[in-house]
């Protein structure tokens, strides 16, 4: 009986230690909410003058031209921000639709840093000695981040835990997973004022952080869910529409 009681005490103490470690991990946890802007090749049909898909490299159909991110703690406070234009090497002409949507200029990206340096700066800002989860609105950005890193021979070991905030938001709202919920529509649903333009990497990251703050307020466990499966599956810029 005494031995059983001692074992019970030890197990209980171990559980308490494990719980304490988990709470300390959560307290240190940072959400790296990021957004990427991409460029893609294009050509103009000589007869119809319409935009058409250009000569795409199948190993990297979309090239990162901007990284924007915010670092959020578990109190849902933004601690710092990151923004960096990336100088392209694959698709040197700025796609007209990308220019129109993002208001990024050729001068912006020509004055950017090579992707190897941009990713290094991003990782330095993340501070990899801290516990962090990469987050984005949908899975396209994380997919293309890995694809671009792979193509340009950049290490991806730092891309570990990932949270799809779009998916978590749809779960929070009770929407079917097959339905697409855009960032703009989600901001309207939560009545978040648009102070800055969408489709700017840092702005989109900040708006996504505001949504995370709302959906996390009632259920922190939901906020801490991570998506471990990261698949390649984003679509290139559609030049035909």
Q: Residue 121: give its domain's CATH number.
A: 3.30.420.10
Does residue 6 lie in a domain region? no
Residue closest to 200 by CA, chosen among 75, 99, 126: 99
Give the CA count within 13 Å in the CB-facing half-sphere of 232.
Answer: 14
Non-local CB neighbours of 120 within 8 Å, separated by 6+ positions: none
Give per-residue pLDDT as tens, 72-128. 999 999 999 999 999 999 999 999 999 999 999 999 999 999 999 999 999 999 987
Q: Tell me if 11 is assigned to some domain.
A: no
Count of alpha carbons within 13 angstroms of residue 96, beta-carbon side:
11
Alpha carbon 94 to chain centroid, angstroms: 22
Mean pLDDT of the 148-166 span: 96
Residue 228 lies in a domain: no
Is 70 a member of any domain? Answer: yes
Task: Report pTM.
Answer: 0.82
Average pLDDT over residues 220-233: 48
Torsion of CA 144, 146, 149, 154, to 10 degrees: 170
Boundaries of domain holding 93 = 29-223
**pLDDT of 2:** 59
In this prediction, residue 169 carries a pLDDT of: 96
Residue 235 lies in a domain: no
Our count of domains for the chain comes to: 1
């Amino acid at each position: 009986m005494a031995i059983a009681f001692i074992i019970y005490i030890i197990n209980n103490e171990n559980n308490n230690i494990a719980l304490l470690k988990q709470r300390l991990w959560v307290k240190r946890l940072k959400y790296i909410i990021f957004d990427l802007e991409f460029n893609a090749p294009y050509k103009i049909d000589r007869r119809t003058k319409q935009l058409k898909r250009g000569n795409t490299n199948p190993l990297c159909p979309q090239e990162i031209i901007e990284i924007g991110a915010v670092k959020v703690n578990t109190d849902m406070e933004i601690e710092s921000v990151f923004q960096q234009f990336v100088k392209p090497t694959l698709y040197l002409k700025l796609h007209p639709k990308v220019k129109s949507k993002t208001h990024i200029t050729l001068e912006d990206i020509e004055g950017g840093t090579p992707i190897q340096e941009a990713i290094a700066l991003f990782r330095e800002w993340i501070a990899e000695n801290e516990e962090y989860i990469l987050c984005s609105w949908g899975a396209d950005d994380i997919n293309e981040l890995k694809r671009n890193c792979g193509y340009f021979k950049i290490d991806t070991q730092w891309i570990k835990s990932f949270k799809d905030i779009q998916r978590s938001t749809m779960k929070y709202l009770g929407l079917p997973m097959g339905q697409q919920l855009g960032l703009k529509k989600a901001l309207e649903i939560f009545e978040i004022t648009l102070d800055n333009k969408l489709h700017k990497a840092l702005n989109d990251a900040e708006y996504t952080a505001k949504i995370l703050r709302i959906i996390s307020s009632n259920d922190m466990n939901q906020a801490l869910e991570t998506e471990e499966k990261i698949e390649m599956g984003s679509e290139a810029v559609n030049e035909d529409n």
